[in-house]
Structure 1
Amino acid sequence: MSPRSLYRFVSIAEAITWSLLIIGMLLKYVVQVGEWGVQIGGFLHGLVFIAYGITAVFVGVNQHWTVRLIAVACLTAIIPFATIPFDRALERRGALDGGWRHTRTSDPRDHTRVSALLRWMLARPLLLAGIMGVALVAIMATLLTIGPPGGVS
């Protein structure tokens, strides 16, 4: 899976889970059928929201995005459905072109510790997947412990 296809997959998944959360909110507040729609949609959206942020950082580092562009990518997840037009804008700019940077090049940006760590992690895909999975679970568990946004409804 290329950086482009990974980023696109997760950005579309993030938008889909926004839809699930909004549908859940409509079911709760308009149709008044209970909280189950918000609980399910909110949980799924939370997981994918965090996965999108992790993916944006990882792909951004691989693609040599600026810190500002990585931050903007992460912030698009806050606005419903904004990840898809942002993905298209990245595509037009060529910011998703290229594959994973497994080897060091003459580009000075490939001579940083972050780039070295990226290459080390890319050489160990199972470990990388495990680290990202643990990070996702740890962040989600922390947020569930803190509680829902806006407090208990």
Structure 2
Amino acid sequence: MSTSSSRPAQSTPVSRGISPRSLYRVVATLEMVTWALLILGMIAKYALHMGDLPVRIGGSIHGFVFLAYCVSTVLVWTDQRWPAAKGILGLVLAIVPFATLPFEKHVDAKGLLADQWRVARHGEEPAAAQERASGPAEKLLAVILRHPVLAAIVLLVFISGLFAVLLQAGPPTEWGK
């Protein structure tokens, strides 16, 4: 369980919308739940002989949420300035069933998730506990924070496009055959 002393100093949240902590908790939970859907679909297919449909449904939902989790991991990793090993671990653990929520709890307990974005929105003066973006990744994040609805649409289109490409490629077990 995290304590307030393990978290970064918090001031009044200045960003409208979802915080890094809330975003990461939601996508980590959804990623874990969709793992369960995929596994239930596999049980339905292989143990109950219900055909491909349960895996296709569970796999599609899980695949989309998996990509959203990976994008969210990179956004939070960039903003919170996680060490590279921590960010990579967050991405790798998305492959392990049910590992994303324990990882989210771990980084929260270590004080690596905040109630507000560290990077100030593009074109705005940084508020208390915020900084101007430095480097290309933080500058992109600042634009995303400045235009969250547009960014959400663009990210949704990006994830959907990548998802469509992966659907065309078929299951990972079929790649390279």
TM-score w.r.t. the length of structure 2 is 0.79
Separation in 1, partners of 2:151, 2:71: 12
- Alpha-carbon spacing, 1:118–1:77, altered in 2? closer, same or farther (3 Å): same
- Structure 1, residues 51-105: CA drift from partner, whole Å, max 9, x if none? 0000100111111112322111111110000001101110110000241222558
Deviation at 1:4, TM superposition (A): 0.4
Note if 1:127 corresponds to 2:150: yes
- Structure 1, residues 6-42: CA drift from partner, whole Å, max 9, x if none? 1000000000000000001001111111111101000
Counterpart in 2 of 1:150?
173
How many residues are paired up?
A: 152
Equivalent of 1:75 in 92, 97, 103: 92
Separation in 1, partners of 2:68, 2:97: 16
Note if 1:24 corresponds to 2:41: yes
Equivalent of 1:62 in 74, 79, 102: 79
Higher helix proportion, which one?
A: 1
Counterpart in 2 of 1:33?
50
Separation in 2, partners of 1:113, 1:140: 25
Separation in 1, partners of 2:131, 2:27: 29
Separation in 2, partners of 1:107, 1:46: 34
Separation in 2, partners of 1:146, 1:71: 24
Query: Which residue identity does 1:35 align to in structure 2?
Result: D
> In angstroms, what is the RMSD of aligned CA positions?
2.1
Counterpart in 2 of 1:15?
32
Cα pair 2:133 2:142 within 8 Å, conserved: no
Identity %: 38
Equivalent of 1:50 in 37, 49, 67: 67
TM-score w.r.t. the length of structure 1 is 0.90
**Gaps (5+ residues) in structure 2?**
1-17
Separation in 2, partners of 1:99, 1:74: 22
